[in-house]
Amino acid sequence: MMLSPTSEVCPASRREIDAASFVLSLRSRGIRDTSVLGAMERVPRELFAPRRFADLARSDMSLPLPYGQTMTAPSVVATMLAALGAKEGHQILEIGTGSGYVAAILARLGCHVTTIERYRSLAEEARIRFALAGLDHLIDLTVGDGVASPPPHEGFDRVLLNGALPAIPSTLTSSLAPGGRLVGAILVDGLPRLLKVERAEDGGLSHVLGGSLRIAPLVRSASTPSEA
């Protein structure tokens, strides 16, 4: 049946329309990874956005979080996840949980996510959102400084840094399994640029510097570990 101009769209249909429009807007910005786009379509950003900014959740813009943190713009998230190349079954280490949105997308991709957040209240809110999204069984969240003290595990398939650093600590690259990949942003002349680090089967590391990113600095502790 055709809808008349005055016909009402049910809430479920409206959500589906908004999600499809959201993905189309990302495609128009050059995002082509269909698995990432599909996961982003199925994770409602408005669930993870601060309530007062829920009406802006489907816009391609960063949103403020408590403690001066930032919910990264969707196109930047999609760019980083496309570079990460996460696959179903991968073990992922995420540094900087924030609102939990990126971890939820990774979980929707079928990954098991270990995510670390420095601020306890942000972590507690993210846990609630993971449960509401039905993804909490795929996400292990801890409170701490993931840059200085990542989990004592050297078998992560992927490591994602949700922020920019002056250099990548060896504590993080050592967490990569052979064939693993780290994606984050590194500051070059004061501006963040995409960085991809891959660990070869023999343990060697390769670094590939990409384009500029609109992403906030990653907060870290006063004590700085050695850099890779």
Mapping DSSP onto H, E and C, the string for 198-226 reads EECCCCCEEEEEEEECCCCECCCCCCCCC
β-strand pairing of 156-165 with 91-95: parallel
Torsion of CA 127, 132, 137, 140, to 10 degrees: -20
- What's the confidence (pLDDT) of residue 25? 83
Instruction: Fill in the amino acid letter for 187.
Output: L
The length of the chain is 228
State mean pLDDT over 52-68. Answer: 91
Torsion sign over Cα 129, 113, 22, 65:
positive
- What's the confidence (pLDDT) of residue 219? 76
pLDDT tens per residue, range 70-117: 999 999 999 999 999 999 999 999 999 999 999 999 999 999 999 999
Contact status, residue 158 vs residue 182, Cβ threshold 8 Å: yes
* Distance, CA of 11 to CA of 131 (rounded, Å): 22
Give the CATH architecture of domain 11-212.
Answer: 3-Layer(aba) Sandwich (3.40)
pLDDT tens per residue, range 157-173: 999 999 999 999 998 99
Q: Is the pLDDT of residue 14 over 70?
A: no
Q: What is the pTM of this model?
A: 0.88
State mean pLDDT over 144-157. Answer: 84
Comparing CA positions, the residue from 98, 55, 53 lying closest to residue 80 is 98
Place of tokens 């055709």: 2
Confidence at 65, pLDDT banded by 50, 70, 90: very high
Confidence at 213, pLDDT banded by 50, 70, 90: very high
Q: Give domain limits for the chain.
A: 11-212
